């Protein structure tokens, strides 16, 4: 089933730019300039995911980016106290809660919002009191989405790795639980974001089948594609597919 929807916002995760910078210990590429350029190219948001070991985005980057990000600033991470204090000081437009471990290479699961509902309620209340929109990184399980709505979160971010992996193998039916999840979340009053392994190859199909998709956060694929096609070109290719 296909849906006619307004354009979905593109938020570009710039963690990989920070990884490249850190590999030489200097300031090339300049993270702030890249973030500024990405917005100039048309992206409607910048996402960062600082981790405790600061192996890519450093905590200081979050502060330095604050005056640079004139679109939507989204900070992702596990809400340990250090992360929460950072977010409450920077005051981004959105915080996305991700249950990753300290040494995890990349996020590979959504929240168990049933088991951790009380904890998430406390965390989300603190962020919302500061005027920050909250989003929960989550799988497409409807029971978990129902529990997410009870935490007070404003949005969910659908964890899309399973879809992307199946789509690459030709299994387009893998979109069905994501469509159902989006419909259910909307009925519960939750906004819908999505991210993880979305790419130029699958983003248009995903967008066409997910009603009320407000925002996608894309980093690894977008930066990798830009090595061949150029950053400005790739940002505009995503915007075209999302329109």
- Rounded to whole angstroms, the Cα distance separating 115 from 89 reads 28
Choice among 56, 72, 157, 196 that is catalytic: 196
Is 80 exceeded by the pLDDT of residue 237? yes
On average, the pLDDT of the chain sits at 95
Res 11 pLDDT > 50: yes
* Per-residue confidence (pLDDT) for residue 7, from 0 to 100: 83
The per-residue pLDDT for 203 is: 98
225 as an active site residue: the answer is: no
Domain residues for the domain of 176 are: 9-242
What's the pLDDT tens digit per position in 122-133? 999 999 999 999
> For residue 178, is pLDDT > 50?
yes
Instruction: pLDDT band for 71, please (50, 70, 90 cuts).
Output: very high
Q: What is the mean pLDDT of residues 138-151?
A: 98
From the list 49, 56, 72, 157, the catalytic residue is 49
Q: Residue 106: is its pLDDT beyond 60?
A: no
Give the pLDDT confidence score for residue 97 in this predicted structure.
Answer: 98
Residue 102: its pLDDT value, please?
A: 60
Query: What integer is the mean pLDDT of 39-66?
Result: 97
**Residue 2 has what pLDDT?**
47
pLDDT given for residue 109 in this prediction: 75
**Residue 57 within a domain:** yes
Structural domain includes residue 1: no
Q: Does 4 reside within a domain?
A: no
Concerning whether 76 is annotated as a catalytic residue, the answer is yes
**What is the SS3 assignment for 43?**
coil
Q: What is the mean pLDDT of residues 41-64?
A: 96
Residue that has been written with the tokens 């997910």 in this structure:
210
- Identify whether the C-beta of residue 14 lies closer than 8 Å to the C-beta of residue 47: yes
CB-based contacts of 60, cutoff 8 Å, min separation 6: none
Question: Is 196 among the catalytic positions?
Answer: yes
pLDDT in tens, 184-228: 999 999 999 999 999 999 999 999 999 999 999 999 999 999 999
| Band (100; pLDDT cuts 50, 70, 90) | confident
Residue from 5, 66, 49, 55 nearest 206 by CA: 5
- Is 3 among the domain residues? no
Task: Record the tokens describing residue 233, joined without a space.
Answer: 């070109």
**Average pLDDT value for residue range 176-190:** 98
Q: How many domains does the chain contain in total?
A: 1
**pLDDT at residue number 120:** 98
By percentage, how much of the chain surpasses pLDDT 70?
94
Question: What pTM, to 2 d.p., does this model score?
Answer: 0.94
| 76/195 Cα distance (integer angstroms) | 11
Instruction: Give the CATH number, domain containing residue 13.
Output: 3.20.20.70
Q: Which of 76, 157, 215, 225 is catalytic?
A: 76
Assess whether pLDDT exceeds 80 at residue 181: yes
């Amino acid at each position: 089933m296909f849906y006619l929807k307004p354009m979905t916002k593109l938020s570009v995760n710039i963690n990989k730019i920070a990884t490249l910078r850190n590999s030489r210990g200097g300031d090339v590429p300049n993270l702030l300039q890249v973030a500024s350029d990405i917005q100039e190219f048309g992206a409607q948001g910048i996402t960062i995911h600082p981790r405790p070991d600061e192996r890519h985005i450093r905590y200081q980057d979050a502060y330095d980016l604050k005056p640079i990000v004139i679109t939507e600033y989204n900070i992702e991470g596990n809400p340990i106290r250090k992360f929460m204090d950072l977010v409450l000081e920077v005051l981004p437009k959105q915080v996305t809660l991700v249950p990753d471990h300290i040494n995890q290479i990349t996020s590979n699961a959504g929240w168990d919002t049933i088991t951790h509902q009380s904890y998430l309620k406390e965390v989300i209340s603190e962020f919302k009191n500061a005027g920050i929109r909250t989003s929960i990184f989550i799988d497409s399980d409807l029971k978990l989405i129902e529990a997410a709505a009870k935490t007070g979160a404003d949005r969910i971010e659908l964890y899309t790795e399973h879809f992307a992996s199946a789509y690459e193998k030709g299994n387009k039916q893998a979109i069905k639980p994501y469509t159902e999840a989006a419909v259910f979340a909307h009925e519960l009053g939750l906004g819908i974001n999505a991210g993880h392994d979305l790419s130029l190859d699958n983003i248009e199909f995903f967008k066409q089948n997910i009603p009320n998709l407000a925002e996608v956060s894309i980093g690894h694929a977008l930066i990798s594609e830009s090595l061949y096609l150029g950053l400005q070109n790739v940002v505009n290719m995503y915007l075209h597919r999302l329109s």
